[in-house]
Chain A
Amino acid sequence: MSAAIKLLGHIGAVTRLSGRTFKIVFSRRFVDRSLLSAQMDQAGIGSWSIAVLTALFTGAVMAIQFADGLEPYGASLYTGKMVSLGIVRELGPTLTAVLVGGRVGAGFTAEIGSMNVTEQVDAISALGADPIEKLVAPRVLACIIMLPLLTLLADFVGCFGAMLVVMTDVGVTATFFIEQVLETLVVADLLHGLAKATFFGYFIAIVGCYVGLNTRGGTEGVGRSTTDTVVAISITVLVSNFLLTKLFLSF
């Protein structure tokens, strides 16, 4: 019972933090482009390699499994259709969010948490600035912008990995594979994935920042908070993925 009340308390606090953040993002106060571009670089550009590697091998493994499973029915030629749909709708956004979220969210928590325990967050307020404007808003906006871009990259690379496997194992040509993919996918599939990625970007940043701002207990507390963030982001992404999928498919 007390755990449920605690969880509700956290959800309420994250909602309040989100409200204050979006008020800044959509107001004229948010003008510090240098903070935003630094965060876009750190969160987005710095995460491209992890997104590409994950997508490449996930696409390849999915292709191996589907080709093997469809072979008894003589349908392994159509592996590209199945794999591309799975990657673009689900695995691209979700895997990218979980892996990039772990990296980026933990980084946010460690950085802001360290600032918090060394009173640097208090110093921002004492010197006449708003910590949410300086620390939270640029990170949230950067993740909302960069996660869909990373997901788009992961979609392409995942399909490319699958194509390499299908070409070597099943023996189809690249042109045939691409035709299959283009026949199967519609724009809505891509948009569903990218819309999910936008929400995931917001969740990653807001959870990472919230846990950082509430870090107590010195360096030990920073370590504990960082672990909590990775767990919280993974759960948030997976649970919200279910709800968002239901929501988007109902339209």
Chain B
Amino acid sequence: MRRGETLTVIGGSGKGKSVLLKMLIRLLQVDSGSITCFGEEVTTMPEPKLLGLRRRIAMLFQGAALFDSLTVAQNIKYPLVEHKWGNREQMDQRVEEVLEMVGMPGIQNLKPSELSGGMKKRVGLARAIAIQPDVILYDEPTTGLDPLNVRRINGLILRLQRRLNVTSVVVTHDMDSCFTITDRIAFLYDRRMDWTGTKEEALATDFAPLREFVQGGRGTLESDGTEDG
């Protein structure tokens, strides 16, 4: 991947898109094969180096994965504390900054149970960017959100890429989101990622499975097999 670009991985449900993201930072270990991040082999990386890698690559989980027992501020401070990032005042200031960035100032003392789905995703994103990563992995960032929140999250991903120049890998099957935020697309099909290209190339492709996926996802209902009434 090129620094600062956004790559979107698309593919059907249950095809292994989220697994792919988790393997990139070794939340899941591969059965075979190799993964290289920043020139280093991830699959055999020793624990201290892995910690360093996770400092550079942050992840936004599908359901945000906020810790229920902690407040918003404590959730955002979690990676800062683990990576020994500054003193208490600096951490409080950083929490304020990232909450401003995701458009949710002043909610430090709320618990995750008091937040809506869209708010949780934005706090999850605030937690992911708190440690100033080089890469952010997004696992289905817009799934289950209303159109307004989808637009907000898409806007945030674009703004973060422009402001912080972070590289993003987004896993989604929301084609509208994909075409709004992405620079390049990778299509996961039949356990392989044979097709990668730009948005324009994806729209003009003659690779049948991708064409069907893109057209289906963008609302062309020519042959979906459903009937009215």
Contacts and interface: CB of A to CB of B under 8 A. Distances in A.
B25 interface: yes
A126 B59 contact: yes
A123 B65 contact: yes
B65 A122 contact: yes
Contact of B58 (A120, A122, A126): A126
A112 to B, nearest CB: 12
A115 B67 CA distance: 8
Interface residues of A, number: 11
Given A119-B62, A119-B63, A123-B61, A128 B68 contact: no
A123 B22 CA distance: 10
Contacts of A120: 65-68
A128 B49 CA distance: 11
Interface string B75-114: 0001100110000000000000000000000000000000
Contacts, number: 43
A126 B67 CA distance: 13
A243 interface: no
A115 B51 CA distance: 21
A24 to B, nearest CB: 12
Nearest to B51: A128
B61 A119 contact: yes
B151 interface: no
Interface string B25-65: 10100000000000000000000000100110011011101
A118 B65 contact: yes
B184 interface: no
A113 to B, nearest CB: 13
B127 interface: yes
B68 A126 contact: no
Given A119-B63, A119-B65, A125 B82 contact: no
11 contacts: A118-B65, A119-B63, A122-B22, A122-B61, A122-B65, A123-B65, A126-B27, A126-B58, A127-B82, A128-B51, A129-B78
Interface of B: 22, 25, 27, 51, 54-55, 58-59, 61-63, 65-68, 78-79, 82-83, 127, 131
